[in-house]
Amino acid sequence: MLTENFLRGRRRRQLTDREKQALEQAVARVEHYPARRTTYHRGELVRHSTLLLSGFMCRYMDDRDGHRQLVGYHIPGDFIDLHGFPLQRLDHDMATITAAEVAIVPHDRLTAITEELPHLARLLWFSTLLDAAIHREWIFRVGRLDAIGRIAHLLCETHARMAAIGRAGDDGGFEFPLTQQDIGEACGLTSVHVNRTLQRLRADHLIEIGAQQVKILDPARLARIGEFSPDYLYLGDALRTP
């Protein structure tokens, strides 16, 4: 089932069998991308959207000097560039972090869905607004938190999203393939400062990090440092405790 992780774990957002089937049939093909490959360049005309099946991807914008700012981070189940369906062109680039597998959904099939299955259309709309809610939280993160708070927040968010798709262990561990450079690009920090801040988080026994893995040792304290509350992820009740 290609779409098994789409909106998985979200509150009251179940798809009917008919809708699952329609979405499944809207998939034209599956593509594989290698790690660290830019898959979309800003401004290109978009004719299809991609549902991330496996692997990790991000969206980013480069500044004049080529310094990168991540504006989104995606895990399996995310309908990554569904924004391109109403927008036609995107304002940012997209790239893989790890090797990734994506389902390609042509826009004409999405148009058909908006005409024939309005409830499913509203769910697709919902999923794009979930991204918007995450964007707002990222603005808050880089605008109001200091380095340790920003990184704590990113880790809490990622853990909550991974848990929603059943990819976080009971021990607080989950796959996390971002380099310190990537973390810096997501949080508006240099990799040097990320390094020093991670050392503080480790020294305080809040996290273990390394080898593409993170383990959150003290979720409550980490959430407090990152001022993290998972409301904005619109998770199911079982998943909402921080």
Residue 227 CA to residue 225 CA, distance in Å, equals 6
Q: Is 193 in the site for DNA (CB under 7 A)?
A: yes
Binding mask 168-207 for its own copies (x = CB under 8 A): -------------------xx-------------------
Q: Which is nearer to its own copies, 118 or 169 (CB)?
A: 118
**β-sheet bridge partners, residue 52:** 102
**Nearest distance in Å: CB 218, its own copies:** 18
- In the list 148, 154, 225, 235, the residue contacting DNA (rule: CB under 7 A) is 148
Q: Which helix (H) or strand (E) holds 119?
A: helix 118-144
234 binds, among its own copies, DNA, none (CB under 5 to 8 A by kind): its own copies
Confirm or reject binding of residue 3 to DNA (CB under 7 A): no
Question: CA triplet 29, 158, 200: central angle to 5 degrees?
Answer: 145
Closest CA to 96 of 184, 37, 162, 32: 37
Between CA 205 and CA 213, with CA 209 as vertex, the angle to 5 degrees is: 135
If contact means CB under 5 to 8 A according to the sort of partner, which of DNA, its own copies, none does residue 97 touch?
none
Pick the binder of DNA from 4, 62, 108, 146 (CB under 7 A). 146
Q: How far is the CB of 190 from DNA (least distance, A)?
A: 4
Binding of its own copies by 69 (CB under 8 A): yes
Segment interacting with DNA, rule: CB under 7 A, options 85-93, 107-115, 130-138, 184-192: 184-192
Instruction: Print burial letters for 151-168: b (CB count within 10 Å at least 16), e (below 16).
Output: bbbbbbbbbbbbbbbeeb
DSSP string for residues in 31-64: EEE-TT-EEE-TT-B--EEEEEEES-EEEEEE-T
**Interaction between residue 128 and its own copies (CB under 8 A):** yes
**Shortest Å distance, C-beta 219 to its own copies:** 17
Smaller CB separation from its own copies, 99 or 232 = 232
What residues have CB less than 8 Å from 197, skipping those under 6 apart?
147, 148, 151, 189
- Chain residues in the site for DNA (CB under 7 A): 146-148, 179-181, 188-193, 195-199, 210-211
